[in-house]
Amino acid sequence: MSVVRDGIPASPGIVIAPVRVLRWEVPRVPHGAVISEDRVEYEIQRFRDACDYARERIRVLQERTARTVGEVEARIFEPQVLMLEDADLIDGTIGTIRENHLTAERAFEWRVLEWESALSHSSHPMVLDRLADLADVQTRVLRRLMNMPDPDLAARVDDGEKYILVARELTPSVTVQLDPKTVVGIATDLGTRTSHSAILARSLEIPCVVSVGNLSDTVHDGDEMILDGRTGRVVLAPTEEDREAYRQRDYLIREWEQELVLLAHLPAVTRDGSRLVLRANIDLPGESDHARDHGAEGVGLYRTEFLVVGRGTAPGEEEQYRAYRRVAESFPGQPVIIRTFDLGGDKFPAFLHMGREENPFLGWRAIRVCLDEPEVFRTQLRALVRAMAHGEIRVMLPLVNEISEVTRTRVLIDQCIGELRAEGHPVPAVYTLGAMVETPAAALIAPELAKHVDFFSIGTNDLVQYTLAVDRGNSRIASRYNPFHPAVVRLLDFICRSGRDAGIEVGVCGEVAAMPLGAFLLIGMGASSLSVGPPALAEIKKVIRSVTYEDAAAGVAEALKASSPEEVLQVLTARLGRVLDLNKFSASLGLSRPE
Ligand code: PEP
Ligand code: MG
C-alpha cells in the first residue's frame, strides 16, 4: 500500500525515482571533553583553523554559485560568513575553551546551543532560515574539527544514478552543489517556501517539496518515491497504479504546456477585443529573462526585498542600481514595476535589528519601515531614479494605508532627483509612482488615494488576509483564506471602479490574478493589467484569450450579489467552465491530485 504525504510545493515538476537520504547533520560531539591547562592554546588554534577552513569553503561555494546560478543567489552565503566573523560566536567559543577547559568541539557546540535557544522562540520563516544557516556553519566547523569527510564532498554523487534527494533540511551550500542531471527531485522534512534552498531549487529547475514532516527518517536509500512539486505531494512505496496515474498526469501537464507555449507571444486580448497587459512577478533579477521568454509584457512586481534579506549589511546604491538596471534592460520599452522594500512581516534583514513583534504582519512592515529608516529608503530611491535612465521603471509602494505615505515618498524622490542631477547623473523629467492596495483601509480610500498616485496595483495576498483576518501563512486556517469571499469581491470591485473613475491604471499582482477564476473575475471588473509568477503566464493568457469581457462583467454583476464564497465560486465556475476545461489548470483549482 502506498503512503501519501503532503508538504509545501516549492518547485514544480513530477518525478518518479529512487530515494537517496542525505544525512548532512551536525555531528555528535563526544563526551568527556575536558582538557588540561597546557592544551588550551592548542585547542584555540584548532578552532581558529577550522573556522578559517569553513570560511574558505564557503567562499569557494559562493564563487561557484555566482558563476552557475547567479550573483544574487550567491549572496545567500553571506549570513554564514558573518556568523564565522561574529565576535559573540567566535570569541565566545574561545572564551569557553579558556575558562571551562573544554575541547574546541564542545565549546563551539555550547555556544551554538546558546544562539539557537535565543533564536528558536520564533517561528518566522526568516528566523528559521537563520537557524538553518547556523546549523550549516556548525556542521562544517565540527566536521573539520572531528576530521570527518568534507560535507560538500559527501553530498556528491558519483555513479550518475538519477534520484530524489531526501533530507531533513537542505542548506544552501548543499543545494547549490546538486547536479540537476542526477538529483531529479528534492523532498525535505522542514523548510519554507521562501527558504533559500527552495529559491535555489526553483532556479535550478529541480522539482521540490518542503516541509513534509518526518520523511528522512521513514525512507531509505533505494526506496521508490513519486514527487509532485506542483501540489506538494510525495507518494511512498507507490503501486503500479500510482505510477501510472502520475505518468498520465505528467503526460497531460506536458501536453497542456505545449498547447500553452504557442500562446506565449500572442496578445492578451479577450474574444471581444478587450486588451489587457500581462506582466510577471519576479523575486530575483535573474528571473526577468525567463519571464520575457514566457511572454511577459514587462514586470508587474519585482520584490526587491530579496536583495536584502539574509544580509548583514544593507546593499549599497551601486549594487541596487545594477540589479534594477538589469531588470529594466530585459524589457526594453515595457514597464518594469519595482516595489520598494517590503520588509517586516516575514522578512527580516539582520542589519535592521528588528525586534520581535507579537503581530509582525500588523507591525513595523513595508512602507512603514522605509519611511522610518530614511537612509535605507533614500539609497533605494536613488538607485531606482538612476536606473530609470535604462528603461521604463515605475516605483511601487507596499502596504500603503494613508495618502501621507505617498506624499512623503514623493518628497524623498524629488530630493533624490535634485541631488542626482547636481551630481551629473541623467534623471527623468517625470516618474511614475504607484501604490499597492492591500489593506481594507487603502481600498476604502481608493477614490482619494487615486488622486495622488499614477497607478494602483492590488496585492490580493495581503488584502485577503487583512480583510478576512486570516493569517496567510497559518496552515491551520488555510481553508478559511478564501479570496472569493464576497467581502473581498466587493472590495476588489470598488478598487477597480475607483481607479478607473480617476483614470489611472489598475493592476493586480496578488495570487488571485494567477487563478483562472480570479483572472476571469478581474477581467470582468475591468482591471487593466494582471501580473503573475512566470509559470502562470501562459495559463492566464489562455483564460484571457478564451473569454469575453461581456461575459466576465456579467459574472461580476452576479458575484457582487452573492452572499457566500461558495456562491461566488459557483457563478464564476459555471461561466468560465463553459469555455475552458478548468481541470487542466495548475493554479489553485489545479489539476486535481490523483487520489
Ligand atoms: C500581495 O500582498 O498580494 C503581494 C503581491 O505582495 P506580497 O505577496 O509580496 O506580500
Ligand atoms: Mg503584499
Q: Choose the weakest-confidence range: 133-142, 322-331, 349-358, 372-381.
A: 349-358
Residue pLDDT, tens place only, 140-175: 999 999 988 765 544 444 566 899 999 988 776 677
270 and 283 part of one domain: no
What pLDDT, on a 0 to 100 scale, did the predictor assign at position 331?
A: 97
**Among 51, 370, 416, 509, the one annotated catalytic:** 509
pLDDT reading at 477 higher than 90: no
pLDDT reading at 311 higher than 70: no
The count of structural domains within the chain is 4
Phi (first) and psi of residue 299, to 5 degrees? -110, 130
What pLDDT, on a 0 to 100 scale, did the predictor assign at position 150?
A: 67
Cell numbers for 300? 508587474
> How many whole angstroms from 438 Cα to the centroid of ligand 1?
8
Give which of 488, 496, 375 is closest to 439, Cα–Cα.
488
542 and 478 part of one domain: yes
417 and 487 part of one domain: no
Strands 277-282 and 529-532: parallel
> How many whole angstroms from 588 Cα to the centroid of ligand 2?
18
80 and 183 part of one domain: no
228 and 135 part of one domain: no
487 and 393 part of one domain: no
218 and 348 part of one domain: no
**Among 124, 196, 294, 485, the one annotated catalytic:** 196
Q: Which residue has the cell 535589528?
A: 353
User: Which of 337, 342, 396 best tests ligand 1's pocket when mutated (most atoms within 8 Å of CB)?
Assistant: 342
Residue nearest to atom 7 of ligand 1 (CA): 461
Q: Is 436 inside a domain boundary? A: no
> How many whole angstroms from 106 Cα to the centroid of ligand 1?
44
Q: What is the mean pLDDT of the chain?
A: 88
- Known catalytic membership, residue 496: no
Banded pLDDT at 219 (limits 50, 70, 90): very high
pLDDT reading at 591 higher than 50: no
Residue nearest to atom 3 of ligand 1 (CA): 459
What pLDDT, on a 0 to 100 scale, did the predictor assign at position 593?
A: 34
> How many whole angstroms from 511 Cα to the centroid of ligand 1?
8
User: Which of 365, 436, 506 best tests ligand 1's pocket when mutated (most atoms within 8 Å of CB)?
Assistant: 436
136 and 169 part of one domain: no
Give which of 373, 370, 372, 363 is closest to 398, Cα–Cα.
370
Beta strands in 14-82 (DSSP E): 14-22
129 and 194 part of one domain: no
What pLDDT, on a 0 to 100 scale, did the predictor assign at position 116?
A: 80
User: Which of 400, 509, 532 best tests ligand 1's pocket when mutated (most atoms within 8 Å of CB)?
Assistant: 509
Where is pLDDT greater, at 210 or 521? 521
What pLDDT, on a 0 to 100 scale, did the predictor assign at position 61?
A: 83
What pLDDT, on a 0 to 100 scale, did the predictor assign at position 11?
A: 85
Phi (first) and psi of residue 458, to 5 degrees? -85, 120
What pLDDT, on a 0 to 100 scale, did the predictor assign at position 590?
A: 34
pLDDT reading at 374 higher than 50: yes
Which residues' Cβ are closer than 6 Å to ligand 1? 301, 303, 342, 438, 459-462, 509-510
Residue that terminates a domain, selected from 241, 266, 297: 241
Residue nearest to atom 1 of ligand 1 (CA): 459
Task: Identify the CATH number of the domain in which residue 492 sits.
Answer: 3.20.20.60
45 and 128 part of one domain: yes
Q: Choose the weakest-confidence range: 49-53, 275-279, 304-308, 408-412.
A: 304-308
Cα separation of 589 and 595, whole Å?
A: 15
Cα separation of 555 and 89, whole Å?
A: 60
Q: Which residue has the cell 533505494?
A: 222
- Domain with 230, as residue range(s), is 3-23+152-241
Where is pLDDT greater, at 500 or 474? 500
Banded pLDDT at 66 (limits 50, 70, 90): confident
Task: Identify the CATH number of the domain in which residue 11 sits.
Answer: 3.50.30.10
Residue nearest to atom 8 of ligand 1 (CA): 461
Nearest ligand for residue 305 CA: 1
What pLDDT, on a 0 to 100 scale, did the predictor assign at position 588?
A: 40
326 and 423 part of one domain: yes
181 and 230 part of one domain: yes
What pLDDT, on a 0 to 100 scale, did the predictor assign at position 10?
A: 83
Q: Is 408 inside a domain boundary? A: yes
- Known catalytic membership, residue 196: yes
Residue that terminates a domain, selected from 383, 403, 431: 431
Atom of ligand 1 lying closest to residue 342 CA: 9
pLDDT reading at 231 higher than 50: yes
